[in-house]
Amino acid sequence: MDSITQAALGATLAGAVAGKTLGRSVLLTGAVLGTLPDLDVIIDYGSAVANFTQHRGFSHSLLILIPLSFLLAWALWRWKPQLSYQRWLLMTGLILVTHPVLDAFTTYGTQLFWPFGPPVALNSIFIIDPLYTLPLLAAMVFFLCRPQRTTALVTGLAVSTLYLGWTLAAQQMITNRVEPALAQAGLAEAPRMVQPMPFNTVLWRVTVVSDDRRVEMVTGFLDGDAPLNLEEFARDPALAARARTLPEGQRLEWFTDGFLHYEQQGELLIATDVRLGVPGAHPFTFVLAKNNGNRLEPSLSYRLDRPAVRKELLGALWARLTGTAPVLCLASLELPPPGERCS
């Protein structure tokens, strides 16, 4: 999740555990602990792909954070012994563990058990979701006004946690809705990803990949009985196979679970993570190699600039979310004329 949300979660947990003893200042301590795992972004691992796939790695591993919580709790207890070591440990452990667990609900991927196993990505909540964050912020404001009342903090945590549970239930309902259409398209067994569109859990994006095509659709809870609109994007199996011969191509495949789009622009072999953002506005596109005839020359990967997002897209997303527009064409990120489907 975004840094504001992680800081708010850490602060709220700290206040709920130790607010009556330490007062308002504990919110700052919790906020700092809540953002601690994300400091790995300052590390340069040597290439764009390495930086992308190592983020949320060791610093988000439960195998690292749980032992670290004992050390930090001891240091904090020596700093402010009016709170027992057991309470410091409870607070520190909760904050450090909930940070990567919350991140695992997003699409990016979180290496909860680094250095073992693949990243965990439940894909049920967008990286910024006000409905998760606002109850935490409201609880913090109430506590700042009345620092002896921690009930508001517990309530804020409960509301946000229930909302997180709702995201999983909503994801399953959307999955059930699209399964007949995928079966009809011959994609019943193909790898799929169901995730919310930006900032909400009403409108959802479904991505399905096969060897030679990727199918995208957008559907939501306000669509009623409107038919699903499937958009197809071509995939080049031969180019993908060549990319997988590269160490960084293999790393990307592992990190994204194969949800990648490969293309050749001039001599450059380019890979795009199609999980994040939306088609036409994917934020992570990497140059992996130069293609000289039949031979790939690996180069130190670098990231291409993110495509500019037109301001009209927000209006289109709102119209689609509210059901005013029944179709949003992902290939162009535009609303088709009334009564028409995407070409």
- Could you tell me the residue ranges of all domains in the chain? 3-122, 236-303
pTM of the predicted structure, to 2 decimals: 0.93
- pLDDT (average), residues 179-183: 93
Using CA atoms of 16, 19, 24, 27 in order, give the dihedral in degrees to the nearest 10: -40
The span from the CA of 147 to the CA of 28, in Å, is 13
Of all residues in the chain, the percent with pLDDT exceeding 90 is 76
How far lies 191's CA from each of 76, 187, 208, in Å?
46, 8, 6
**pLDDT score of 266 more than 90:** no
Instruction: Name the nearest CA neighbour of 196 among 232, 221, 230.
Output: 221
279-317: burial string, b at 16+ Cβ within 10 Å, e else: bebbebbbbbbebeeeebeeeebeebeeeeeeeebeebb
Q: Look over the chain and give the mean of its residue pLDDT values, rounded to a whole number.
A: 92
How confident is the model over 303-328, as pLDDT tens digits? Answer: 998 877 777 777 888 888 887 888 88
Q: 24 near 151, Cβ under 8 Å?
A: no
Q: Is the pLDDT of residue 45 over 80?
A: yes
CB burial of residue 43 (10 Å; 0-12, 13-18, 19+): middle
DSSP 330: T
Write down the pLDDT at residue 86. Answer: 97
Give per-residue pLDDT as tens, 148-157.
Answer: 889 999 999 9
Side-chain-facing half-sphere of 259: CA atoms under 13 Å: 27
pLDDT tier for residue 343 given thresholds of 50, 70 and 90: low
What is the average per-residue pLDDT within 8-35? 96
CA distances in angstroms from 333 to 231, 314, 317, listed in the order given = 12, 10, 9
pLDDT band at 334 (very low <50, low <70, confident <90, very high): confident
